[in-house]
Amino acid sequence: MVSLRYIAAQGKTMITPTMITLIVIAGILGATAISTAPFVWKHYADKGKRETALEIAKHMNDSSKVEELLGMFEERKKEPKRPLDYRRIGVITLSVGVGLFLFGFVALGFIFEGIGLLVGTIGIGTLIAGYLYPNTSEELTNAVEKYEEK
């Protein structure tokens, strides 16, 4: 990979230190905008829902219907949370690590190979944790029964 300073030092392009600074500032601002945009979008989406529910509630006289209306706007279901399946997460992370390693091996070099090995190792650890620590009630029951038999 060739750095901008190397290209500028060769004199083949018209990249000045000011342009390099502007590129860095644009990169920082772009990353900030990308990471902030979902939060702003969610705020404005929820703001419209709250205002609509408030306007409808002003014209309703029955308090039970107002509670029913507010229940309809609730996005999260009241379902019980499922425990994390560390085996599934481990396989996905391991696959991403292998992909990064191969991408570095074929195209970009040893840095991405190292990153791929790190991510793959994290995936292997998560996969092992999924088998060591059962997380569903059925797996827990089976583990307790096996322990009690001993």
pLDDT band at 5 (very low <50, low <70, confident <90, very high): low
Do 67 and 91 share a domain, yes or no? no
Q: Give percent above pLDDT 70 in the chain.
A: 69
Provide the whole-model pTM: 0.40
Do 89 and 107 share a domain, yes or no? yes
Of residues 60 and 32, the one with the higher pLDDT is 32
In angstroms, the CA 58 to CA 65 distance is 12
Radius of gyration of the CA atoms of the chain, in A? 27
Do 59 and 101 share a domain, yes or no? no
pLDDT band at 25 (very low <50, low <70, confident <90, very high): very high
Do 17 and 51 share a domain, yes or no? yes
Task: Scan for tokens 């190792």, then name that residue.
Answer: 121
Domain with 48, as residue range(s), is 1-78
Domain termination site, one of 21, 48, 78: 78
pLDDT tens-digit map of 37-71: 988 888 887 777 767 777 777 777 766 766 776 66
